[in-house]
Amino acid sequence: MFLAAFVAIVVILICDSNFAGANTGEYGKGVQRILLDAKRHSNIIWTASGFNESTNEVIQVSANVPGGIYSDLEDNGILKSPIYHEYNDLESRWVGRVNWTFSRNFTVDEKVFEKKSIVLVCEGLDTISNVYINDALVGRSQNMFARYIFDIKRVVKLGENSIRIEFQSPVNYAATMYEKHKLVYGYRVDPPNVVPEFRGENKVQMIRKMQSSFSWDWGPSYPNTGIWKSIYIEGYTGAVIRDVMIFSKPSKPVPDDTATTQWEVTARVYYDCDTEDQSAKFTFWRQNSNGTEKSVELGKGTGLKEDITLTESAIDIHLWWPNGYGKQNLYSYVVSLYNDNGDSSSRQLRLGFRTVELVEDYVDSSQRDKGREFYFRVNGVKMYSKGSNSIPLHVLPERITYTQTEWLLRAAKLSHQNMIRVWGGGMYESEALYDLADEYGILIWQDFMFACALYPATDGFRNIVRQEVDTQVKRLQHRTSLAMWAGNNENEGALRGHWWGGAPWAYQKRDYIKMYIDTIKVLVEELDPSRRYIPSSPTNGKRTEDEGWVANEPGSLNYGDIHAYNYYGDNWDWTIFTRGRYSSEYGYQSFPHYETLAEVADNITTWTFDSPMMEHRQRHPRGNSELVRMVSDHFPAPSNHNSVEAFPYMLYMVQLTQAMAQKTQTEFYRRLVDKLDTSGTGHNMGALYWQLNDIWQGCSWAGVEIKGRWKIFMYYAVNFFSPVLASPYRESNGDVVIELISDSQNEFTGLLRVQIFKLSSLTPVYENEKNVTAAFLTSGEVFRIKNSTLSDLNCHQHAASGMAEPCLVYLTLPGTPDNFLFLQYPRNKQALLDPSLEVSAVDLDLDGKTIRFMITTKAVAPFIFLKMSVKDEHQGYFNDNGFILTTPQKELAYYSEKGMTVQKFIDNLSVMSLFDVTYIAGNFNEFGSTYYK
């Protein structure tokens, strides 16, 4: 009955003209909107203009809204294409120093003009601007992440009007604010400069915009300017909905097998109202189903709120679970506000039902100094966090598409990830990313956008920050996938570590607390008491709080999360890693595919590993030399790694060594899931590697390249995050231990086969089998090969340095990925035999997208690398890659998102293995290796 009364709601969708800035959603009846978004090729255009002081030139181009100036300049032929071409980031440096003005005309008709309120809604302005309507100043923007609503009633005319947004150069603004702060307060807000390797702009901490748009250690500097989200004029009389937050509470702990749980679901509706004492009706209903309504007297003002509560029964709604734990049930709801004048506004939301808690109990309540746990409990079930950190999908948000976002989140889902940390130096992500996270069961650890710097804590700056927190918490709070808020990236650790010298430490600490505790924490907890807020990552959680918000030892192994990087040890050896409770960042670099670099190169065939272009694509200090060391420590080192011939092989080997390092570190963490040592370390419950995705075609820690190609590491992630995994490692006594790791809720049983190969033969020198079982959240020893046994095979510890033939432990366990351990590293080229790899039986499935084929080998073939070199074939993956072939043949598949013919596949497939590297390798023992495995 209730439903019938409301089916007549007019739902108008705002045209999704640009994905990155889209403001989708419905706004109701009677509320009038004039959308000012416009594509360059439409009739009404925006113009962007600016004066380039270095060339003394006035530039005027057509602009996209939503959009950004770099894209406008590229599309108008002023910047070189593609935007990430070779040295384009340096050559376009002037763009960030120009004050750009965006303008257009628009018509206001009677329907809008007669409304009591007329406002200009700017969903996103990047960044510092003055906004004029008909030459009258109506407002100022100072934060890329804040929504601005300016009253324009008094300046707008019936008929033709103009809008002009004058942006200030973000680079100059940041520099000015830095000097101003120094002058007024007498101390610097550090750091004054980025390291030279970043080749970036300085002082980004002074401006509330994407911090990495000024450069980072994986990305170039493109300090954008523009109207990056939707912009529209809105006329209304009475009240309009601005935001809706959702709070849901089960009547008893979930999961509840009896299905008698009642969920109390409260929609907190934020509205603006221009009329005193008006009565209105709020409604809240699940589409095609249950609903409720409520009549209230409205207040007059902005940011007012009203709660409306619905009761849902577990008979009708089912729980939402993270990826790997169950289904992602989502339900559509509509919240509406009906004015008594007949005007209404609505908001549609998709909700899932779940509880999420961050658990920090003592690991041993009788010995509290052993520290606290750190894990998420979802629907009452302890969850091991498997996942990664995301960075912006492009430095220019206007370039990010739904397809790219979906492809990325699909990679996360396929690799068993259940959590992504949206890292604090980028941006609060697009609606699409959170939509997909809801759909794919990927929980979001949401940082606020502060990273690796001190920030001003003046009243003015904190007010600007409050606007951002208000906008983003209200925008994102209803998301089912949203698990936690976090204040910043690494600033607590940096503060405690005395990284910065610009101000007395006491001032730095005071400003830190003012920002992340007194300002952000207070506001977040007021707006969203349903979620945990931690001030920083890494942090020691409750311990940080006990110690006055700046922990004595941030990054403690006994409390909270850690960021764990070790570029100096042997990263294929688990003993170099620390026993963190929850590793929310760890990783190693590699370069993307040769084909990916070729997209931004004039002539890739002239590139060598140390060439200026490769240095240019590397922003992490000492990065390329670390990679060369990683390669020569584990593989047959090229006699000249810097030759044109060695270049493609170097790319292959750096990708492999990254994959191996990530595998080693991740499996180490997972094996700690149920182990605790006497000092209280262990119980690791989280592995979020750094980093999920790339921002450009450059060197980075990413697994997925900018346009979607999977690095070898991504294929390894599918395996090392497998719910059940047999994981081999070597103990200090030389024994090889195999543990069976599980975060599968189903008890696992299977037949484990353990083999040892010398690379010369497909017949193992050792073989054994055993029935093994694993329970949820355990990692137990299931098999052991004694060092004495290994000694008989000449595979024992310290057999390494002069050894001609490395030994390979190879594990198979049906229903789980194969796994392996090199007991000596395959550095000796003499030990690698030509496997004569051949591809046969190529066949296309009926879906036109999946190609099946067979690969055969004549010898043990380490690290087979399959590559599809079709230009623009970014969205495709093999079902395995970077694997070791120990059997004469293996069935494989390639999935192409847009489909592929058999012929095209055959023409573009390339296959190589470590043997191919011997062609460019020098002689074993010619080069020093740091590690003698």
Rounded to whole angstroms, the Cα distance separating 587 from 564 reads 8
Taking residue 301's Cβ as centre, other Cβ atoms within 10 Å add up to 11
Give the shortest CB-882-to-ligand BMA separation in angstroms: 22
Percentages helix, strand, coil for the chain, rounded to the nearest 5? 25, 30, 45
Question: SS3 for 654?
Answer: helix
Q: Could you tell me the CA-to-CA distances from 926 to 58, 624, 637 in Å, in that order? A: 60, 21, 9
Give the shortest CB-455-to-ligand BMA separation in angstroms: 15
**Residue placing its CB nearer to ligand BMA in the complex, 192 or 253:** 192
**Residue placing its CB nearer to ligand BMA in the complex, 419 or 774:** 419
Burial 104-123 (b: 16+ CB within 10 A, else e): bebebeeebeebebbbbbbb
Catalogue the active-site residues.
Answer: 490, 585
**Residue placing its CB nearer to ligand BMA in the complex, 389 or 913:** 389
Give the shortest CB-537-to-ligand BMA separation in angstroms: 8
**Residue placing its CB nearer to ligand BMA in the complex, 452 or 527:** 452
Give the shortest CB-486-to-ligand BMA separation in angstroms: 12
Q: Which of 191, 286, 298 is nearest to 248 (CA)?
A: 286
**Residue placing its CB nearer to ligand BMA in the complex, 268 or 563:** 563
Q: Which DSSP string do the residues of 854-903 spell out, in sequence order?
A: EEE-SS-EEEEEEEE--TT--SEEES--SEEE-SSEEEEEEEETT---HH
Structural element, H or E, at residue 928: none
Tokens matching residue 230: 């939707």
Give the shortest CB-842-to-ligand BMA separation in angstroms: 40
Confirm if 42 and 372 have CB atoms less than 8 A apart.
Answer: no
Prior bond of 82 cis (ω within 30°): yes
How do 443-447 and 482-486 pair as beta strands? parallel
Phi, psi of 584 (to 5 degrees): -90, 0
Give the shortest CB-673-to-ligand BMA separation in angstroms: 24
What spatial distance separates the first Cα and last Cα of the chain, rounded to whole Å? 75
Give the shortest CB-466-to-ligand BMA separation in angstroms: 24
Confirm if 749 and 771 have CB atoms less than 8 A apart.
Answer: yes
Rounded to whole angstroms, the Cα distance separating 99 from 225 reads 9
Question: SS3 for 59?
Answer: strand
Rounded to whole angstroms, the Cα distance separating 387 from 440 reads 13
**Residue placing its CB nearer to ligand BMA in the complex, 425 or 723:** 425
Three-class SS string for 135-165? CEEEEEECECCCCEEEECCCCCCCEEEEEEE
Q: Which DSSP string do the residues of 770-798 spell out, in sequence order?
A: EEEEE-TTEEEEEEEE-HHHHHHTT-STT
**Residue placing its CB nearer to ligand BMA in the complex, 218 or 825:** 218
Give the shortest CB-656-to-ligand BMA separation in angstroms: 20
Rounded to whole angstroms, the Cα distance separating 380 from 696 reads 40
Confirm if 826 and 848 have CB atoms less than 8 A apart.
Answer: no
**Residue placing its CB nearer to ligand BMA in the complex, 481 or 489:** 489
**Residue placing its CB nearer to ligand BMA in the complex, 408 or 688:** 688
Give the shortest CB-790-to-ligand BMA separation in angstroms: 37
Q: Could you tell me the CA-to-CA distances from 356 to 108, 250, 262 in Å, in that order? A: 47, 12, 17
**Residue placing its CB nearer to ligand BMA in the complex, 555 or 638:** 555
CA 457 to chain centroid: 27
Phi, psi of 433 (to 5 degrees): -65, -40
**Residue placing its CB nearer to ligand BMA in the complex, 37 or 447:** 447
Confirm if 419 and 386 have CB atoms less than 8 A apart.
Answer: yes
**Residue placing its CB nearer to ligand BMA in the complex, 213 or 881:** 213
Q: Which of 662, 566, 654 is nearest to 610 (CA)?
A: 654
Please give the angle made by the CA atoms of 576, 578 and 583, to the nearest 5 degrees: 125
**Residue placing its CB nearer to ligand BMA in the complex, 218 or 236:** 218
Tokens matching residue 309: 């509560």
Rounded to whole angstroms, the Cα distance separating 268 from 546 reads 32
Q: Where are the beta strands (DSSP E) in 331-374?
A: 331-339, 344-351, 356-359
Give the shortest CB-196-to-ligand BMA separation in angstroms: 16
How do 125-126 and 148-151 pair as beta strands? unpaired
Give the shortest CB-580-to-ligand BMA separation in angstroms: 14
Per CB under 6 A, residues contacting ligand BMA are: 216-218, 425, 451-452, 489-490, 563, 585, 690, 701
97: which DSSP letter? Answer: G
Give the shortest CB-441-to-ligand BMA separation in angstroms: 25
348: which DSSP letter? Answer: E
Q: Could you tell me the CA-to-CA distances from 394 to 222, 400, 448, 501, 809 in Å, in that order? A: 10, 6, 18, 32, 41
Give the shortest CB-691-to-ligand BMA separation in angstroms: 7
| The residue type at 308 | I
CA 125 to chain centroid: 23
